[in-house]
Amino acid sequence: MSYAVLAASLRSALQRQDTDAIRHLVAEMQLADLAEFIQHEQEDTTISLLDYLPMEQRASAFGYLEEETQSALAAEMKDATLAELMHFMDADERADLFKLLDEPRQQGLLRRLAHAEREDIRKLASYEEGTAGALMTSEYVAVPAEADVATALDKVRRTGPNAETIYQIYCVDDEGRLLGTLSLREMILANPKDTLTSLMTEELVVAKVDTPQEEVAKLISRYDLMALPVTNGGERLVGIVTYDDAMDVAEEEATEDMHKGVSVGKLEGSLRTASLFDLYRKRIVWLVLLVFANIFSGAGIAYFEETIEAYIALVFFLPLLVDSGGNAGSQAATLMVRGMATGDVRTRDWAKLLGREIFVAIGLGLTMALAVSVVGVFRAGTEIAMVVAMSMVLIVIMGSLIGMLLPFLLQRLRFDPATASAPLVTSIADGVGVLIYFAIATAVLGLPT
């Protein structure tokens, strides 16, 4: 059955308090789907649903929940129950949950965990958020590089059940330094007496523990990796980042860029659980700043007040023109920001892209000028139509260049290019568009005596 059908059936069973049906439906649902369902339920309902699962499956489902939900549920659990749950969680998810707890709770849990788990949590929790170290898991398969295939496969069988993935095998020396890698497929098909050094690939794609997480996601995407090895300063293998974690990072970064693209600060947690004050606080700063930015547009209008009084028909075309410049700028900025985010565009490319953008903007401006000039002739006559057409060309060109160059400027100043958001580009383009429009109108039409 589909998730929608199972969710509806489970909600109905909960209303009837039919424990047999609830148990059956919980067992039938995928763990990710169950986590999605309980994400929207009350805490007591969520805990009761998780209780229907064996502890190992409960730990897996727990890992799919949002941080706010995990934190709330953990607060309702006894230390013994939470410690047992963490025992079955993946190493990286266990460390993430540990960091959500307050210090007294952390110390209480550490006393209930095995020594190896305590040390693993301390290590993973020590890395700075947003880095490969904080993202990686310590559950991987590493074998001695000098071992033969038969010996290595035996170790894979012994250590594989606890590993995040066994499809990529890492070859290390006696001190744990990463020397090479090979796939499980290559090992299975090889002669059992072959040594790993004769089979492994030494051309490695590796991240350091302090590599930013967005760079980790890019490396995994660029080289189509199942997992990316992570080393410390001494080239010692300390963990791996799997592709599913990289997908989560890519989604998080894309969401953050989209929020910046509409001048919204980074939300801690989900939109559904964010408080009213947090939503207000994340939006108000940029909106107030943009209000003052738009004052320049008003100042431009005030400066050309006499021209406007003499040719009141010009006001009809003002929103059309400035919006066209802002729209063209927003398009250009979005293309540049996305290109930078994916690595398709680099800072050194600005001159080449500037030349191309000029020609594209000219084409756009001329096409839009042709369309609006027809309206201008019927609405206000030939002279006004000429002013509007000339203004349209220059405003679209300037808007496009502002939108294209602003991300490069922000990157050069070490700001996030995503800050070159649509509202920011539009506000700047609006002010420039007002000045261009009325300057051309004053120069072409003049003022009546």
Can you tell me whether residue 169 is helix, strand or coil?
Answer: strand
CATH superfamily assigned to domain 276-445: SLC41 divalent cation transporters, integral membrane domain (1.10.357.20)
Query: What pLDDT sits at residue 365?
Result: 92
For residue 123, give the nearest of 105, 136, 108 by alpha carbon.
136
Burial class for 438, CB neighbours closer than 10 Å (0-12, 13-18, 19+): buried
- Give the mean pLDDT of 112-141: 88
pTM, 2 dp: 0.68
**Tokens for 251?**
């989604």
Same fold, 3-130 and 276-445: no
In the predicted model, is pLDDT for residue 255 greater than 80?
Answer: no
- Give the mean pLDDT of 349-366: 91
In the predicted model, is pLDDT for residue 143 greater than 70?
Answer: yes
Can you tell me whether residue 135 is helix, strand or coil?
Answer: helix
In the predicted model, is pLDDT for residue 39 greater than 60?
Answer: yes
Bigger pLDDT: 191 vs 255: 191
For residue 92, give the nearest of 135, 45, 49 by alpha carbon.
135
What is the rounded CA–CA span in Å between residue 343 and residue 139? 30
**Tokens for 290?**
């943009």
Instruction: Give residue-wise pLDDT tens across range 200-218.
Output: 998 889 999 999 998 898 8
Instruction: Give residue-wise pLDDT tens across range 53-91.
Output: 999 899 888 888 888 888 888 888 888 888 899 988 888
In the predicted model, is pLDDT for residue 392 greater than 70?
Answer: yes
**Tokens for 403?**
């939108």
| 416, 297 Cβ separation under 8 angstroms | no
Confidence band for 448, pLDDT divided at 50, 70 and 90? low
Count the neighbouring beta carbons within 10 Å of the beta carbon of residue 135.
29
Lowest-confidence segment of 4-8, 298-302, 391-395, 415-419 by average pLDDT: 415-419
In the predicted model, is pLDDT for residue 263 greater than 60?
Answer: no
In the predicted model, is pLDDT for residue 361 greater than 90?
Answer: yes
| 407, 372 Cβ separation under 8 angstroms | no
Task: Break the chain into its structural domains and give their ranges.
Answer: 3-130, 142-252, 276-445
In the predicted model, is pLDDT for residue 294 greater than 80?
Answer: no
- Give the mean pLDDT of 247-251: 81
Any idea which fold 142-252 has?
CBS-domain (3.10.580)
- Give the mean pLDDT of 348-371: 91
Query: Which DSSP string do the residues of 336-401 spell out, in sequence order?
Result: HHHHHHHTS--GGGHHHHHHHHHHHHHHHHHHHHHHHHHHHHHHH-HHHHHHHHHHHHHHHHHHHH
Confidence band for 273, pLDDT divided at 50, 70 and 90? low
What burial letters (b/e) apply to 140-174, b meaning 16+ CB within 10 Å? bbbbbbebbbebbbeebeeeeeebbbbebbbbbee
- Give the mean pLDDT of 12-23: 88
The residue whose two tokens read 């949950």 is 97
Phi, psi of 158, rounded to the nearest 5 degrees: -80, -35
**Domain 3-130 is found in CATH 1.25.60.10:** yes
Confidence band for 6, pLDDT divided at 50, 70 and 90? confident
In the predicted model, is pLDDT for residue 165 greater than 70?
Answer: yes
Cα distances (angstroms) measured from residue 320 to each of 115, 119, 418: 68, 64, 26
Query: What pLDDT sits at residue 410?
Result: 84
Bigger pLDDT: 279 vs 103: 103
For the chain, what is the mean pLDDT?
86
Query: Which DSSP string do the residues of 290-350 spell out, in sequence order?
Result: HHHHHHHHHHHHHHTHHHHHH-TTHHHHHHHHHHHHHHHHHHHHHHHHHHHHHTS--GGGH
